[in-house]
Structure 1
Amino acid sequence: MDLKVEPMDIDYDQPPPLQVFAHTSTLHGISHIFSYEKITAKCCLWVVFFLSSLTFLMYVCVDRIQFYLEYPHVTKLDEITTPIMVFPAVTICNLNSIRFSRITRNDLYHAGELLALLNSRHEIRDTHLVEESVMEVLKSKADFRSFKPRPFNMWDFYNRTGHDIKDMLLSCQFRGWPCRPEDFSVVFTRYGKCYTFNSGNTGAPLVSVKGGMGNGLEIMLDIQQDEYLPVWGETDDSSFEAGIKVQIHSQDEPPFIDQLGFGVAPGFQTFVSCQEQRLMYLPAPWGSCKSTPPSSDYFKAYSISACRTDCETRYLVENCNCRMVHMPGDAQYCTPVLYKECAHPALDFLVERDSDYCSCETPCNITRYSKELSFVKIPSKASVKYLAKKYSKSEKYITENVLVLDVFFEALNYETIEQRKAYEVAGLLGDIGGQMGLFIGASILTILELFDYLYEVRFITNLYGCFVINISLRICEVAIHQNLLLHYPSQYVKLKYTTIQMFGVNKSCFY
């Protein structure tokens, strides 16, 4: 029985999948490149336009990515008014750390060379520079015949011989109300025994409810120049200046007055107008601030002052096996000999040269106070007699020893200086998306279309097409290969390769 195959109308001009995708995709331009027509000049121009746009797009995307990887930031300044503000801590130090009248014979025996009063043989130095009254006192104290030295402690020495706030403070007012020496807490610095007003250690810090003069701290001090050590040489404990050192800082920050303080001279009233500044920095990679909790055993809050003090303490303990009086910790205090031969030289070297050892990062949140200073002469000719009578001093003494310090807020507002990220991921994606839309008319969904096309054509169709078409063709070949190949050989081959084109599969699937 002969099988007879009727001729069939088969559409052999089915477009390839790429052309179909080009005409259905939301990607602009490719429908003109992969058109159903033959290649023309118009098609070539569209290829040039599309590739040029794609090149510009890649250039802009690379530029935006490079800009993002620079992690830029901007600084925002703002001024905020508030009805109440915490008054800062005010630390004051007399520039003379040791009162001459408080030095005992035992003090002179142990620390006389450190203070440059005696030489290494416990003899008075440079007697021709000594005033007669000072010389008499010094001779009586420097008589070490049949003297038996007692134990000596540097902390006790500085605490006992330092200037007493009860003797220095002539008058004190805060917001018009009187304040007392008890309102000042003792703190030790490189200037010895100092005092902090409004430290916050004994309770909540004081506040200001109004700006301007008379609404802050006003103190009158006697610097007691008659107690200053005679200067016969240059040491770390001798002072060529007369006056006090002042630092205005937050309650969370320990004073670092030898480097951050400003001087106030006797014979003047100094007005210090302050404005609080709150600085907010960014951590890496946008900035370089320290955002991790402090690793110090001595300070609860991290600050540059706390970091420096902590670092200097560790440096001295490592190099001198002792610490100075103003340093925290439980290491033993340095002796006068170690002060002179090790502690002072090591600390001076650390401060001036070895900056790598104490690398203190900026904290991410800082409260500091900008200051504007102004001065007037005090006392006036009209008031000098009254002040001399009031405090039982001579007019010359009042002129040489009395000063007034007035610290207040300029206004009840604070300034914020904040670093902000200038370019984040959202901005990067927005820029790239905008450029994609501008140059090639694409979006995220267009990219998903491309991936979807590649996935279906290159993987699913290839594997599934190979399997189905091979099975189908094998069945067809078994069933009709004899008659089909015999009567329509050319149509069979053409049908085979048309199927290959439609499914985008490899020719090797059929062999």
Structure 2
Amino acid sequence: MENTKREHPPFFKSVRNYFREYCTYSSIHGFRYFGEKRTYFERGWWFIVFAVTLAGCAIAIREVYKKWITSPVIVSFATRETPIYSIPFPAVTICPEAKTKQDLYNHTHILRKFMNDTALDEREQKLYNYMSLICNPPEFIFPISDNSASGEDTFDEDFFKELHNISYINPFLSCSYMGNNRDCSHSFKPIITDEGICFTFNMLDRSEIYKDNTVQFRDYLTMDDLTYENWSMSNGYSPNSGVYPYPRRALLAGAKNSLNVHLLTQKSDIDHTCKHSLQGFRVLLHTPMRIPRPSVQYFWVPINQVVLGAIQPVMINSSESVGMYNPKRRECYFPKEKELKFFKIYTSLNCKLECLTNFTLHQCGCVNFYMPRDNSTSICGNGKSRCMKKAEQLLQMGDLRKKIELSENKSTNGNNTKNKEFYRDLLDCDCMPLCNDLSYDVEISQNDWDWLDALRSLSPNGTLSFKEDDYHLSSLTLFFKSSQFITSQRHELYGPTDFLANFGGLLGLFTGFSILSLMEAIYFLTVRLCCNSRLYGYWAGPDT
């Protein structure tokens, strides 16, 4: 019998038949109507319905994807409360408004000499130049021109020695913590801030905060060999930290378990022209590794008043899955992700202080006395006061400036554009918050304190052992408001599995598409073609 070669349908007809076969077996909703031998109107109607449905599905998937790209992280409240003993008691920085010992430096006396056109001697001129960085007399009361004193562009290390000699006023009469009396000089250590010499409680040692290249002065901010090996911002206290670790923690809430300090102000040291006419103490609560700036954020403890502060911690934790995202997308840093030049530990506020330091150095060629620096950097003198103030204002407006420039229509020449880009990079501190962060809110209540009558009533003969006109006394009590608090948690809005579930759910809702539907399409394009050739000698299979 003579073998005859089998004739196959034309190619396009085979493709049509094969497509109809796929439509018959496909699990995608509506596809089988495309393969039926029905009128063009019916098939056209189903094509329109399918196209509209597919378009709606694509729009919904696009919105989900956009949300995943722009906001991959969500912040919510934790399901369990956190006990206060798992976090440190806040570092407390106290700054007296009486800045100098009046018998060594009287700012009012110097200003009166200016107003009377009386010349200053050499030491008075030097101390005035030094204190001009701390004292800011109201210009509407004492309008002093720039030529009233010869300003210096830079100061040497003698600035800190003189500042210590004339400003070191220990204001503490008594201290107690958790109901136990403490040595104030052991608990509160001197620290140099933008308000001059202040005193801080429960901060880390400077060797734990600053890198070795940072210049230090005397024994300021040294915590008597107390280290924080048993605590970190990310992991909290270690299991073997014990009941009384460092930084100190409050085991219980309430005023009986507080930090209480009595603060003395010697009346003879009050100077109403150095800072403001208000007298008392600036107080700032912060985390133990953060360098405080009491001129920016503080609350007030007036003289002859009792101030109670109920502390409420504000804490946010981040899940490990958040670390998979780029810091720009999650809008936070983990401690090891950003390196600072002067600080060992990254915090948003330490980063901003370092950024201000770098920008001030660029603008003025020196840095302010409270800023971190190395041996090659000079301290700005009072002749650079305006430059330092302008640099800080420019930096504070940096983020707003960038946003405004992005929204403006840029039609500047090349030089201006290059200059803008340079300043944009310089002003971009990139000081995002920590992914695991802690701060402290405080609710303040205060009342007048007639402490003189109280002391008289406690004395045997109703008299005082000192002149009642010599001192003012203030009291500060700080305690946790409750034994537990609610933390916030930063976690993924959509993980890979969640995004896949949303993606697949929308496809299934609109079209009935699934992984098996995808495998069907792959099967018809690959495996079935090969098997048809082997079984029937033709890729399209038997003629049907």
Q: With structure 1 as the length reference, what TM-score do the two structures score?
A: 0.71
Say which of 514, 522, 525 aligns to 1:454. Answer: 525
**Aligned partners of 2:353, 2:518: CA distance in 1, in Å?**
57
Cross-structure match for 2:267: 225
Alignment of 1:38-57 (within 5 A): 39=39, 43=43, 45-57=45-57
Offset at residue 451 of structure 1 (A): 2.7
Q: Which amino acid aligns with 1:71?
A: S
From the superposition, tell whether residues 70 and 307 of structure 1 become closer, same or farther in structure 2 (CA, over 3 Å).
closer
- CA–CA distance in 1 between the matches of 2:315 and 2:367? 33
The whole-number CA distance in structure 1 between the counterparts of 2:102 and 2:180 is 34
Give the Cα separation in 1 of the matches to 2:443 and 2:463: 31
Q: Aligned to 1:395, which of 468, 483, 494? A: 468
Partner-residue secondary structure (3-state), 1:383:
helix
How far residue 106 of structure 1 moved from its aligned partner, in angstroms, is 6.4
Structure 1 pair 227/387, CA: closer, same or farther in 2 (3 Å)? farther
In structure 1, the residue matched to 2:175 is 172
Partner of 1:264: 301
Is 1:287 matched with 2:287? no
Letter in 2 for 1:290: Y
The residue aligned with 1:349 is 390
Deviation of the 1:176 alpha carbon: 1.5
- The alpha-carbon distance between structure 1 residues 257 and 294, as it changes in their structure 2 partners (threshold 3 A), is farther
**Letter paired with 2:382:** K
Q: 1:178 to 1:28 in 2, by over 3 A?
A: same
Deviation at 1:362, TM superposition (A): 2.3
1:195 to 2:199 alignment: yes
Q: Return the alpha-carbon distance in structure 2 between the equivalents of residues 301 and 6 of structure 1.
A: 87
Q: Is 1:33 aligned to residue 34 of structure 2?
A: yes
Matches within 5 A, 1:305-344: 305-331=349-375, 338-342=380-384, 344=385
Q: Which residue of 2 aligns with 1:136?
A: none
The number of residue pairs the alignment matches comes to 422
Q: Do the aligned partners of 1:322 and 1:332 also contact (CA within 8 Å) in 2? A: no
Gaps (5+ residues) in structure 2? 107-120, 133-141, 143-155, 206-222, 227-245, 399-426
Please report the RMSD computed on the Cα atoms of aligned residues, expressed in angstroms: 3.8
User: Given the superposition, is the C-alpha separation of residues 6 and 103 from structure 1 closer, same or farther in structure 2, using an over 3 Å criterion?
Assistant: closer
- How far, CA to CA, are the matches of 1:229 and 1:332 in structure 2? 35
Q: 1:327 to 1:391 in 2, by over 3 A?
A: farther
The answer to whether the 8 A contact 1:294-1:300 is kept is no
Choose the corresponding residue for 2:516, options 445, 450, 467.
445
Compare 72-81 and 255-264 and name the one that shifted more: 72-81
- Taking the aligned partners of 1:49 and 1:324, their CA distance within structure 2 comes to 70
Counting only pairs closer than 5 Å after superposition, residues 237-276 of structure 1 correspond to structure 2 as 238-276=275-313
Q: Would the aligned equivalents of 1:96 and 1:239 in 2 still touch at CA under 8 Å?
A: no
1:302 aligns to what? 346
Aligned to 1:64: 64
Q: For residues 391-419 of structure 1, what are the alpha-carbon distances to aligned partners after superposition, in whole Å with 9 as ceiling and x for unaligned?
A: 74433444xx2100001111222331233
Aligned CA distance change for structure 1 residues 423 and 382 (closer, same or farther; 3 Å): same
Aligned to 2:444: 373
CA distance in 2, matches of 1:294, 1:391: 57
| Structure 1 stretch displaced more, 5-14 or 411-420 | 5-14
1:379 deviates by 1.7
Quick check: 2:96–2:282 contact (8 Å CA) kept in 1? yes
Where does residue 208 of structure 1 map in the other structure?
Answer: 250
**CA positional deviation for 1:51:** 3.6
Q: CA deviation at 1:213?
A: 0.4
- Kept in 2, the 8 Å contact 1:94–1:163? The answer is no
Give the equivalent residue in structure 2 for 1:99. 101
The two structures have a TM-score, normalised by structure 2, of 0.67
Cα distance in structure 1, aligned partners of 2:347 and 2:439: 11
Q: Using the aligned pairs only, state the percent identity.
A: 18
In 2, the alpha carbon distance for the partners of 1:353 and 1:387 equals 56
Aligned match of 2:89: 87
Change beyond 3 A, Cα 1:76–1:321: same
- The answer as to whether partners of 1:186 and 1:194 remain within 8 angstroms in 2 is yes
The CA deviation at 1:25 is 2.4
